[in-house]
Amino acid sequence: MGKIRRFVTCVSIDSIDENAYCGTKNGDILEISLKKGIYERSGPVNKLFTGAVNQVISIYTTLYVATSEGELAKLDKKGLSIIGEIKFEYASLTGLAAS
């Protein structure tokens, strides 16, 4: 990533072991290609999340993201754009579970 520094807080690998999605303290998500071993892109493209990204879950074509400022968001993997989000007042989301 050159001179840009990021502190990664969580990592999620998609079901076909093609990409890893890393949540950062800056409030963005990094997409890393596991086949090529390089940084691909970052998102969300609309805006950064407030606070650190505490949890990222990759399910099929979507990402579910929880932040330290109480945001829960659903992102599209193709464009890393926000599909929907909700903010919990006075809360910090520290984890998500997928089943």
> Strands of 29-33's sheet, edge to edge?
8-13, 19-24, 29-33, 38-43
pLDDT in tens, the chain (99 residues): 667 788 999 999 999 999 999 999 999 999 999 999 999 999 998 788 988 999 999 999 999 999 989 899 999 999 999 999 999 887 877 777 765
Q: What share of the chain is helix, strand, coil (3-state, %, to 5)?
A: 0, 50, 50
Taken as a whole, the chain contains a residue count of 99
Instruction: Please tell me the pTM assigned to this model.
Output: 0.89
- CB burial of 44-73 (b: ≥16 within 10 Å; e: otherwise) equals beeebbebbbbbbbbeeeebbbbbbbbbbb
Domains parsed from the chain with CATH numbers:
8-87 (2.40.10.480)
